Chains A and B, each alone.
Chain A
């Protein structure tokens, strides 16, 4: 049995955040074997990222870390060793891929030079870029990070990580910020790197499906403690710990049962939302030539759409598909270049944003924010108070929340407040812009259920934008697939998922990391 690449032995860690010291990791035991891909799954606050940083010896000094136990990589305790030793380990044994490709690369340094800091050789850099699937590698050496897409940037990060022939690559949510198709490619890449170079990978993710796709073994982290570890297939299909079971249960999949209430579709009345020949063209000025020279980008490139009253339409697309722009035009927040959007019914459009926190005015209390929504109705004070109370109750929030400010609420509570405001006066259409992609799986599930409840109760028309096919299937009666500003496929949800007509839809479906049931 070969030596493990990294050993985490009874590791405990406490950090100071906002002036308060808290225990972040508690007695974690872990061994990463040579050539294995170990998945580490946990929700936010589980401590998985600090564990990654500990392996790299990069714990933030500003948080005054206090540690117990040891974290050993290649025989060196990354918690106690001197800087020179730590650097040696980082150069020779470790590689890292971090979550956010936009901020993880130096924006003012060319790519070639950033890779070169590891390879010290341009030819080697070119070769590595080829390995990670970057075309025209020689040209790309001269390029700056902001000129590349997110997927390409992560590939560059992968190249840098692999450059030193490391024994262990620490990948902290490397695909979370990427589109699902790009994610699939990157996961494939990591597998190939393991096969070709024999390195181990610590794959940190919050998505069990991703873990299932790629991990040999799987460890589950809950509130700083390792609650379960074993072969990935076993952990996922026969979870022992209660938390693992709840993680699996709150996961949204393409095969889970849909809401019974919305089964019948088809209504011949006047459409609630009518979109005709919608275009939205941006002109982007490009620097470089003397008089600029501009490029036209069609964010929305000719969209025709009808949404029936009380129907829910889910629009699925990757980044750059134009789905958010389309939504904002329907909301009236942006103007179209040409084409029309007609809303029938009273109440106007209402919108729920991805980041609930910043959609609420930070210095206004919840009660004030909700009351403001009622101002056009010119009601008396008592009536306003009653309706605010009713609105909070409708989203399962206690009355005390009315006195609180957004900063004092949790993410899930803030999203509920946003929903309350949007549905207090029944809108012509409820527009949802990825309202749950920033939330943990269990929270997301309950918020989505709430939206469905509200829809059933008020009889709202809903236009739901998401990048997640499973969410789209859950929330929409129909699904429309958007790509580069156009709707490439549209149809009843189950039908689009089961028998997709377009090539692109098939690619999207194939890329979703699904957990295949054993039976």
Chain B
């Protein structure tokens, strides 16, 4: 097991280094001058040139890359062309809201996926309608779901709000409205935070729920047909015991992989959802950076989200290894 963890961790490091190199190369070819972030739009060409020299932008390629890497480790992701703040600062401000949204959405997706898969594989009566609805919703682009959600639940019914994290102030310390208000025991604010969280989280969760659900269902069905399940049944175990101990554990592998994959897609999908709901997270920050070609910001967000994605995949691999000991034997 230890060897397995080490190998995966080493692979993750290589992947992250490659990502950093990729971002660095993209930065080099991108339009827009990072130096301008430091001196402002009205600076004279001489000032810009001097700033470029100071930033080491005239050095050879690899020197600049190592400089860049060093900056990464020191927590310096450059300066945003739009906000003129250090990108790290911007990200730190906006990340918690995104984490809150993505985690909630992912949990909802897991629950929906489990229901989808179990109801399908075990053939619960009447569940086909629910699955069909989910399937239909999943074919829609998330921004459309968001729009429809707003029109229906806000415009027509007035049940849920359409923008932002909450009408109250965030008491801190995490920067996550729902969590913080809960920790402080402010029930009104907490309920309000949940109401704001509901629509964006559900919209974000639908496509992953279906993707994971389908894979999980098909692997459950495959396992139900397998020899050792027949053995388990021949022992006289109840169907629940058979499913819980023999079927789920062996069928969950592909679903875990898909879960990891979907988590990655969620980090991209969150950009659109946050924009529609004016959710103050880094998705929204990224969406605002695009029209003005604020590449340092875009690069910074990609790096941070990319790192989170890679790490979460390592965790998924570990979970898979725990579920199926054969994985570590490779």
Contacts and interface: CB of A to CB of B under 8 A. Distances in A.
Contact of B329 (A105, A106, A117, A287): A287
B234 interface: yes
A106 B229 CA distance: 8
Given A287-B329, A289-B3, A290-B3, A108 B234 contact: no
A304 B326 CA distance: 37
Interface string A93-110: 011101010011111110
B165 to A, nearest CB: 42
A146 interface: yes
A88 B2 CA distance: 43
Contacts of A62: 225
A58 B245 CA distance: 19
Interface in A330-380: none
Contacts of A90: 233-236
A173 B198 CA distance: 57
Interface residues of B, number: 31
A290 B3 CA distance: 4
B250 A108 contact: yes
A463 interface: no
A56 interface: yes
Nearest to A56: B234
Interface in A292-333: 292
Given A87-B238, A146-B326, A290 B227 contact: no
B236 A103 contact: no
A288 B326 contact: no
Nearest to B223: A106
Interface string A56-91: 101000100000000000000000000100011111
B227 A117 contact: no
A58 B235 contact: no
Please report whether the interface of chain B is mostly helix, strand, loop or mixed according to DSSP.
helix
A251 interface: no
A160 B239 contact: no
A62 B230 CA distance: 14
B256 to A, nearest CB: 13
B1 interface: yes
B330 interface: yes
Contacts of A95: 234
B82 interface: no
Interface in B228-252: 228, 230-239, 241, 245-246, 249-250
B226 interface: yes
Given A144-B325, A288-B1, A290-B3, A94 B228 contact: no
Given A109-B246, A290-B2, A290-B3, A117 B237 contact: yes
A288 B237 contact: no
A103 B232 CA distance: 12
Nearest to A292: B3
Given A144-B325, A146-B326, A288-B3, A107 B232 contact: no
Contact of A287 (B230, B323, B328): B328
B324 interface: yes
B153 interface: no
B4 interface: yes
B236 A91 contact: yes
A105 B231 CA distance: 7
B42 interface: no
Q: Which of A106, A146, A291 has the most CB of B within 10 A?
A: A106
Nearest to B233: A58
A274 interface: no
Contact of B4 (A98, A117, A287): A287
A157 interface: yes
5 contacts: A83-B239, A107-B324, A146-B326, A289-B2, A292-B3
Interface of A: 56, 58, 62, 83, 87-92, 94-96, 98, 100, 103-109, 117-118, 144, 146, 157, 160, 164, 287-292
Interface of B: 1-4, 6, 225-228, 230-239, 241, 245-246, 249-250, 323-326, 328-330
Which 8 residue pairs of A and B lie closest in terms of their CB atoms, listed nearest first? A91-B236, A90-B236, A103-B227, A96-B234, A87-B236, A106-B228, A104-B227, A287-B328
